[in-house]
Amino acid sequence: MKQYNVAIAGVTGAVGQVFLQILEQRKFPIKNLLPLASKRSAGKKITYLGEEIEIKELQENSFKHTDIALFSAGGGISKKFAPHAVHSGAVVVDNSSAFRMEENIPLVVPEVNGEQIGNHQGIIANPNCSTIIMAVAIKPIYDLSKIKRIVVSTYQAVSGAGAKAIVELEQQVRDLICKNKKNIQKEVFPVQIAFNVLPHIDVFLDNGYTKEEMKMVGETQKIFADPAIRVTATTVRVPVFTSHSESINIQTEQKISVQEARKALSEGKGLVVKDDFQNAVYPTALDSSGKDDVFIGRIREDNSHDRGLNMWVVGDQLRKGAALNAIQIAESLIV
């Protein structure tokens, strides 16, 4: 089997660490692994397949002889360094928002629009985590009938804001419970996240929505190549370490029964249906944490609309919502 030189830009971050785990688990055919990070992390070591590998500083000339470069170091870093990786001959799979809405750059969820991977010109964009999870969940419904409108509310884990957010939640919980502190330290989030719910992810825009919410609008339309889909989103941060949850309401062109929807979803790629309300069986964030699939439950007709469906969706945003989706794209590149 042919092997490939793979670089990871942002290897020390939350997604970068999951990149390493999934590459190992899926036995990606790596010849040489090049872990890259900022200057302050250079010289440290990561472990891959039992071997310690030194982290190198991310620089413009880092990508010589690289076949695939996985980026998860933030939009500014991607904008600066991804073109240099492409110029060196690598294909970039970028997990930031830097290139997602650029017209000539594919925005890919393999289960939904994997055919777009071949249209790349050196860069393939990984969608936003909450968009990926929703797109996988609604694809089987969209195949039954075009979707006219989506109303989605997300309940997003702190790890979606990075490794520092995980530390902040844990420290706040310890301070509140173990030390009975009243002055809680806040750095990542504008208000206390422990035992709280924040209706605020990313910056607010002039229209009153946040950037995270508008990402779900534009990215969904691009992934499905359907600008007519109307999407409205409310994105919420909850004090959970891993896995995003989403309440999704869909309006379709043709009526779809619960039985039809459940059958289609049960047969969908990357999906697990866990839906038996009579026995309180439904997916939770803990069910999906560390798992590759997207889980669906609470499938029911919308009692306010004759062509509406409601469902509850959960997925590990560090895996399917980020690292796994990017690696699936990389796997398609080498087939």
Q: What is the pLDDT of residue 179?
A: 82
Check if 244 is active-site: yes
The predicted pLDDT at position 257 comes to 97
Q: Examine the residue annotation and report whether 178 is marked as an active-site residue of this protein.
A: no
User: Exposed, middle or buried: residue 103 (CB in 10 Å: 0-12, 13-18, 19+)?
Assistant: exposed
CATH of domain 4-126+322-334: 3.40.50.720
Where exactly are the structural domains of the chain? Answer: 4-126+322-334, 131-317
* Residue 134 contacts residue 152 (beta carbons within 8 Å): yes
Fold assignment, 131-317: Dihydrodipicolinate Reductase; domain 2 (3.30.360)
Residue with tokens 């209706």: 199
State the pLDDT at residue 62. Answer: 97
Strand, coil or helix: 168: helix
What is the model's pLDDT at position 183? 85
* Euclidean distance between CA atoms 35 and 103, whole angstroms: 30
Amino acid 151: pLDDT: 98
- What are the DSSP calls for 116-157, one per residue? GGGG-SSEEEPPPHHHHHHHHHHHHHHHHS-EEEEEEEEEE-
Q: Given the residues 65, 84, 178, 244, select the one marked as catalytic.
A: 244
The pLDDT, as a whole number, for residue 313 is 98
How far is residue 333's CA from residue 271's CA, in Å, rounded to a whole number?
A: 23
Between the CA of residue 147 and those of 186, 197, 254, what are the distances in Å?
Answer: 40, 30, 9
Q: Quick one: pLDDT at residue 180?
A: 80
Candidates 84, 129, 178, 305; catalytic one: 129
- State residue 335's pLDDT score: 76
Residues of the chain with pLDDT under 50: none
